Chains A and B, each alone.
Chain A
Amino acid sequence: MNAIDVHGLVKRFGDKTVVDHVTMAVAEGEIVGFLGPNGSGKTTTIRIMCGLLTPDEGEGTVLGFNIRTDSLRIKREVGYMTQKFSFYEDLTIGENLEFVARLYRLKPVGEYVARTLEELGLTSRRDQLAGTLSGGWKQRLALAACIMHKPKLLLLDEPTAGVDPKARREFWDEIHRLASGGLTVLVSTHYMDEAERCHRISYISYGKMLATGTVAEVVRNAGLTTFIVEGPHLDRVAAALDGRPGVDQVAPFGATLHVVGSDRKKLEAALADVEKEHKGVTLTPGETSLEDVFIQFMSGSKDNMA
């Protein structure tokens, strides 16, 4: 049984279709990265899955429970970490955890809270108001609070936004540790390095699911060709390349240019022209990165935010 199995989800706000026939399956124990630009419908999709929004169309199950009729059961088995810190800033760390433990009817409350604080390394700060914590600590507190009731599925909505690299690294180590214990994780993110730490990724743009699979699969299926250009006056080379047929992306990376295109023949022709015009320029075939693929997706899909 898949932890998440939804198909044809549609959600409209007014005349705007925010989620447009999204289908997604996540196997148990899998860590799936949910990627897409701002306003692409990631949060809405996650909210539908945990019963916070009802879809206008589409069906599905989460942990075997129907998302339309069984949202209360889903809420009990799912841990949902919101994008914005949504625990009580005027309650202490300890009081927040006690509140959550009581709502999930975890007994004895004191024991659960003490163990969670211990694991977090926050025992000494239990009487500190949650609002006074730094971003990284707030995120750790939120994660601890939503795994306290031992959920089978974790839905994380941009959990590492605004968190420093070390805290992010620790966060992901924790996610992998939890997944090895059988927990399924769906995590939305903007960071490419985080996407690469997922077993699989799904890319959504303006409500539509554009790609899904392992990182390697997504890169391969995108069918992009990348060349690395080196030589003098790369700024002029970049200006010459920009806008030529076959050239989709030109991006400087240190002392090189990454030139990406979806039509290999046209791209090679364009590069050959430029090579002739600019002396001392060398071309080498390069590896297409996940980021290149995403930029391609983003420039290719039409903006529905306007």
Chain B
Amino acid sequence: MNSVFSFARLGALLIKEFIQMRRDRITFAMMLGVPLMQLVLFGFAINNDPKSLPTALVAISNDQYTRAMVSALQMTGYYHFDYVAQSATEAEALMAKGVVSFVVTIPADFARRVERGDNPQILIEADATDPSAASGAVSTLSKVASQALLRAQGMQATAAESARGQLQVVVHQRYNPEGVSQYNIVPGLLGVILQMTMVMMTAMALTRETERGTMENLLAMPSSPAEIMLGKVLPFLVVGAVQMVVVLVAAKLLFSVPFVGSLTLLLSAVLVFVLALVLLGYTISTMARSQMQAMQLTFFFFLPSIMLSGFMFPYRGMPGWAQVLGEIFPLTYFLRITRAVMLKGADFHAIGTEVGWLVLFVVVFAGTALLRFRRTLD
């Protein structure tokens, strides 16, 4: 008789877990409903590249160059001129109140300087309290301004020059040409949603047995730590797989996220990720003494992993120490994998390192959980 591992005993534990899962209707509904809800909510709500931001215009003169400039800015889609202020003070008040995100000031001598070729200047003030909101708008500025100027001058110049002046505004963002946030957010959401449900559910796996008093009985019967661990985490691997399919189908149907890479590759990477998550949750449950503690530990883990993984904020925008900290979260690697596979069409070669890290997480978490598992009630 094999005392360390038996598939029959693992089978017993698996059947039991599935029955309990099925009977806990609310939790079960949560596991399927919550991902979809979160996807729809966040997918539509989060936008890292906001457009049509309210803008105030301070234009002293009303010459053709000023008009050209204003219409060019409006054409970018970032600026929406809601207010025409009579003075700089008035515009500043609007910004202070948060009514506008930008103030565009075109000085009175703008046209004269253009005609004289004497370094014409316009002033754009951005409300930087939300830097990510302003960044896209600001980044297109200098190009738009110079092109608008060329065009305005071209109208009066010779035919050849005017042809050259008919330039289009080009904002170049690789992999996501239109700068659609959803393309960035939705693959990330897949990871965050999986992390939420998988870690939380498994974090309570053992503490629930302890709190209900069934742990004593389970330990008194012949079952090895490895069997108990797999019996607890494998059912959630199945749930995770279902969640993943739901989110991917929704990503395609609701947000038309392009899918460039290999589906098989993505699915395999997701499975490794989910395995790492459920084992992490299980490790938490070997440490927590109550379900409440398990919840707290899970949340303690959630926040930094969402903040530092590159889901919420651009990873490269963080200081070096924060990037290092971000490396300890499986979500960081998963985000790189999904974005690379879905948007860039990366092959295994390109994401091998990230997958390797996820496998390492699996091994470390499983090892820790098995070491931490208390075979006795001591």
Contacts and interface: CB of A to CB of B under 8 A. Distances in A.
B275 to A, nearest CB: 24
13 contacts: A51-B220, A52-B219, A52-B220, A82-B216, A86-B213, A87-B214, A91-B19, A99-B12, A102-B12, A103-B223, A104-B222, A105-B1, A105-B6
B16 A88 contact: yes
Interface of B: 1, 3, 6, 8-9, 11-13, 15-16, 19-20, 23-24, 212-217, 219-224, 375-378
Interface string A75-95: 110101010111111110001
Contacts of B224: 72
Contact of B221 (A85, A90, A103): A103
Contacts of B11: 102
Given A88-B16, A88-B20, A50 B220 contact: yes
A80 B220 contact: yes
Contact of A88 (B3, B9, B214, B376): B214
Contacts of B1: 105
Interface residues of A, number: 31
A98 B13 CA distance: 11
Contacts of B16: 88, 91, 95, 99
A95 B213 CA distance: 18
Given A53-B378, A72-B3, A82 B8 contact: no
Contact of A104 (B19, B221, B377): B221
Nearest to A88: B214
A273 B282 CA distance: 71
Nearest to A85: B213
Interface string A46-72: 010011111000000000000000011
Given A52-B220, A54-B378, 14 more contacts: A47-B377, A73-B3, A75-B220, A75-B222, A78-B220, A80-B217, A82-B217, A82-B220, A86-B213, A86-B215, A90-B20, A91-B20, A103-B222, A104-B222
A100 interface: yes
A88 B220 CA distance: 14
Interface of A: 47, 50-54, 71-73, 75-76, 78, 80, 82, 84-91, 95, 98-105
Among B9, B23, B212, B220, max chain A CB count under 10 A is at B220
Contacts of B214: 86-88
A78 B15 CA distance: 24
A51 B376 contact: yes
Given A91-B20, A99-B16, A53 B376 contact: yes
A47, A52, A84, A98 — which one has the most chain B CB atoms within 10 A of its CB?
A: A52
Contacts of A51: 220, 376
Nearest to B8: A105
A52 B216 contact: yes
A35 B224 CA distance: 32
A52 B9 contact: no
Contact of B376 (A52, A86, A103): A52
B237 to A, nearest CB: 20
